Chains A and B, each alone.
Chain A
């Protein structure tokens, strides 16, 4: 068993990227579910929140694609994404927020969790001397880009929450 915060193999990296995809799926599923429930229940939509959720769902789909592209470049067997997508959708299809505050708070948790995940992953890759089947600098550039967008997402939600206090 190895100790310490490091990523040492293609397989481990692929698994971590897969976990990133699951987290992005959670964000996407929750955002679109919230978006739909707002549209159904409140025809005088809150344009600001509507735009936020729509953007979050689009961004998560884009992040998933970027993570999938990285996994494709690794020397590992493919991982079953379809089943996970169904599972996440089934789980989050059942939940919906009580009000606008709940939607915002949930979105903040999603963005913060994703930011923390990418931040830890980048740190663990930087601490590792292992070589991967994908270019290390390109890998880190993609992950730093994702982290940056999650940070922007946290700030965006925080700003809206502060304005509404």
Chain B
């Protein structure tokens, strides 16, 4: 997965949470980047017809953008499930963030064949907890950084 996919995933989740276009500031916050960087990437997504940006309202994904975002989210869920359910990794969020940019969807699919596949994925994902809903552990909310 590349950076564009990480933006698509963030926009998708914010749109789902807010039920409206995603404000650029919210996207920047979620990805921990500057608003200028978020603006630049949103422009690139627009030029690829994956997103539409409306001034003062925010950014919405196109149908193709939604498909890409859901694929990216599914890959992220698979990585989290693999880390927790197979490897027993405690700091799975941090590691999943690091791995999602390198692990392609095809590879994630192959990893997912080792664990029980969930038909509800990626709708199982809880953006508040930043966690897949099919993890074999009780998930505590993420502690904010100091």
Q: Which residues of A contact B (CB under 8 A)?
A: 1-9, 12, 15-16, 18-19, 22-23, 26, 79-80, 84, 87-88, 91, 109-110, 112-113, 116-117, 120-121, 124
Contacts and interface: CB of A to CB of B under 8 A. Distances in A.
B104 A116 contact: yes
Contact of B107 (A87, A91, A117): A117
Contacts of A3: 3, 6, 31, 33, 101
Given A3-B31, A5-B3, A124 B101 contact: yes
- Kindly list the 9 A-B residue pairs having the minimum CB-CB distance in the complex, ordered from nearest: A124-B102, A5-B101, A113-B110, A117-B107, A1-B97, A3-B3, A12-B98, A1-B32, A4-B3
Given A91-B113, A109-B110, 15 more contacts: A2-B98, A4-B2, A5-B102, A7-B102, A15-B99, A16-B103, A18-B87, A19-B107, A23-B111, A87-B86, A87-B114, A117-B107, A120-B102, A120-B103, A120-B107
Consensus secondary structure, chain A interface: helix
Q: Which of A6, A19, A112 has the most CB of B within 10 A?
A: A19
